[in-house]
């Protein structure tokens, strides 16, 4: 993996996730370790989640890149330490604050599954090894950086699976995320999870994700009449002279109404003015939202009129956006009108018009199913709230558990059996069958010998009461790699690993 060396980006993460962005008890525990002289004892924590999200059978692992930046810049400032002095009990030995001031991750080693990998519940995704007090202090920040990134990435992958490989997916959840950073994280990791586009300009700026968007209802409703259209002319693509676009539009509109049986009295002139004004500004990027008043009685007719004007001037209109109502049904109606108009007016551009479907939280869960099972003509699906908030399960529930201290396996036994942990340092292997398909992730103790290709082995399915199963892998991959060693991010892996094929 290529970890950004952009100092601005690193400073930005240092400001977003300073070492104080953690739970207070990490410091009280670190102090108790330090007071007992145990702070340097070698310890190992594992990060994993207990259940696959959304009632599904997999997750994608994400957030590693930010974790690496966090580890690399983990240092307390004088100001941090002074604040800690003010909140820890007054008996805290002043030498502890000196210790904190000198702390960094130079003793920490991180073994991790690569960013964007398909993973499963209870498999340790990351192993954080280092001095007990330091690896304890890292807990909350690492969980914060992995939990939501993996959750939203997995949610995106589920949308991608539902939408199929061809339909474009647009993330547009910034306004419904948990503040600015939640929105940015969502844009970034939904892209990893299979979304093509984002509406979030800052995400385009920071992460190079393609950005998309044309207009909102407010733009449409801000227009009242054709008098507001300025300039009232447009030059054809390869032309020289400005063409009077108002009269041309009126002409096309009456032809469209006549052909499609539209009632001129029901057509909203403000909407027509908005479409026309936008088309004059961006004649090659005409994709208006057509449901500000009524799709059938106004928006679609206005679109066809302006699109036909553009075609006459040798531009190619792009398509329409639907943002309310029954999107699947409407998309069929709209496509039918496009076909009829394309044929009737002999404009080939109408054959390749795209239909963008967007809608809010209440309908988008349904939308997901509709895309799978209901006939529709939606080419691009824009998802906001439901995608970024992960409505069905808004938290992945990753945990960070101690598994070894001074080489001794540690375990937590809980009143809730599922909260008990599996002790000891582990190795994780992905077993692949003869057709090259992964069929099993094997968690062993690190001290056990690794599975071998072609050799049968017996294992217990995790968290099941089932008996031993016997499998023979055709190929074995070690899933985790050492990505951070003694304060340094390891090179040798590539950013390309971030892209996941989920479809």
Cα Rg for the chain, rounded, in angstroms?
Answer: 28
Q: Could you tell me the smallest distance in angstroms from the CB atom of residue 12 to a second copy?
A: 6
Bridge-based pairing state of the strands 354-359 and 319-322: parallel
In angstroms, the CA 474 to CA 429 distance is 13
Of 445, 460, 430, 489, nearest in space to 117 by CA: 430
Q: Could you tell me the smallest distance in angstroms from the CB atom of residue 256 to a second copy?
A: 20
For residue 436, CA distances in Å to 318, 350, 362, 441, 451 come to: 41, 43, 40, 14, 16
Query: Does residue 422 sit in helix, strand or coil?
Result: coil
Residue 78 has phi, psi (to 5 degrees) of -60, -40
Of 391, 477, 491, nearest in space to 441 by CA: 477
Q: How far is C-alpha 450 from the chain's CA centre?
A: 34
Of 178, 163, 175, nearest in space to 201 by CA: 175
In angstroms, the CA 125 to CA 48 distance is 6
Q: Could you tell me the smallest distance in angstroms from the CB atom of residue 255 to a second copy?
A: 25
Residue 442 has phi, psi (to 5 degrees) of -105, 125
User: What are the residues whose beta carbons fall under 8 Å from the beta carbon of 464, sequence distance 6 or more?
Assistant: none
Of 72, 82, 89, 88, nearest in space to 4 by CA: 72
User: What are the residues whose beta carbons fall under 8 Å from the beta carbon of 379, sequence distance 6 or more?
Assistant: 167, 168, 319, 354, 355, 356
Residue 450 has phi, psi (to 5 degrees) of -65, 155
Measured N-to-C along each axis, helices 327-344 and 300-312 cross at an angle, to the nearest 10 degrees, of: 40
């Amino acid at each position: 993996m290529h970890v950004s060396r952009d100092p601005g980006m690193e400073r930005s993460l240092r400001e977003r996730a300073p070492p104080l962005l953690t739970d207070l008890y990490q410091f009280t525990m670190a102090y108790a370790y330090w007071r007992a002289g145990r702070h340097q004892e070698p310890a190992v924590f594992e990060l994993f989640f207990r259940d696959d999200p959304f009632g599904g059978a997999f997750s994608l692992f994400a957030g590693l890149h930010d974790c690496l930046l966090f580890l690399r810049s983990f240092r307390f400032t004088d100001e941090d330490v002074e604040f800690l002095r003010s909140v820890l009990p007054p008996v805290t030995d002043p030498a502890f604050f000196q210790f904190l001031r000198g702390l960094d991750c130079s003793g920490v080693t991180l073994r991790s599954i690569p960013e964007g990998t398909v993973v499963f519940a209870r498999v340790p995704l990351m192993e954080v090894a280092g001095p007990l007090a330091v690896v304890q202090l890292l807990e909350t920040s690492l969980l914060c950086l992995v939990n939501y990134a993996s959750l939203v990435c997995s949610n995106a992958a589920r949308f991608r699976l539902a939408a199929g490989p061809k339909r474009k997916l647009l993330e547009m959840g910034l306004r419904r995320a948990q503040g600015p950073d939640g929105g940015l994280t969502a844009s970034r990791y939904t892209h990893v999870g299979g979304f093509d586009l984002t509406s979030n300009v800052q995400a385009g700026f920071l992460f190079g994700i393609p950005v998309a968007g044309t207009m909102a209802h407010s733009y449409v409703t801000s227009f009242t009449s054709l008098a507001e259209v300025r300039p009232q002319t447009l030059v054809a693509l390869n032309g020289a002279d400005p063409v009077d676009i108002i009269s041309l539009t009126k002409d096309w509109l009456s032809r469209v109404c006549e052909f499609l049986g539209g009632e001129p009295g029901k057509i909203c002139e403000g909407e027509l003015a908005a479409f026309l004004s936008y088309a004059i500004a961006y004649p090659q990027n005409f994709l208006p939202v057509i449901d500000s008043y009524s799709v059938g009685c106004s928006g679609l007719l206005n679109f066809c009129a302006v699109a036909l004007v553009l075609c006459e001037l040798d531009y190619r209109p792009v398509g329409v956006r639907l943002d309310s109502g029954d999107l699947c049904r409407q998309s069929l109606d709209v496509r039918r009108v496009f076909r009829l108009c394309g044929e009737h007016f002999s404009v080939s551009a109408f054959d390749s018009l795209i239909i963008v479907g967007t809608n809010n939280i209440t309908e988008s869960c349904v939308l997901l199913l509709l895309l799978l099972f209901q006939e529709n003509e939606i080419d691009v699906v824009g998802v906001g709230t439901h995608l970024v908030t992960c409505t069905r399960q808004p938290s992945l529930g990753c945990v960070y558990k101690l598994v070894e201290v001074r080489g001794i396996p540690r375990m937590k036994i809980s009143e809730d059996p599922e909260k008990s942990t599996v002790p000891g340092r582990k190795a994780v292997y992905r077993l692949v069958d003869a057709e090259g398909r992964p069929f099993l992730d094997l968690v062993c103790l690190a001290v056990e010998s690794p599975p071998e290709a072609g050799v049968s082995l017996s294992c217990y399915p995790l968290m099941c009461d089932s008996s031993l199963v016997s499998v023979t892998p055709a190929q074995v991959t070690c899933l985790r790699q050492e990505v951070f060693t003694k304060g340094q991010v390891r090179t040798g892996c590539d950013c390309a690993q971030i892209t996941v094929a989920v479809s």
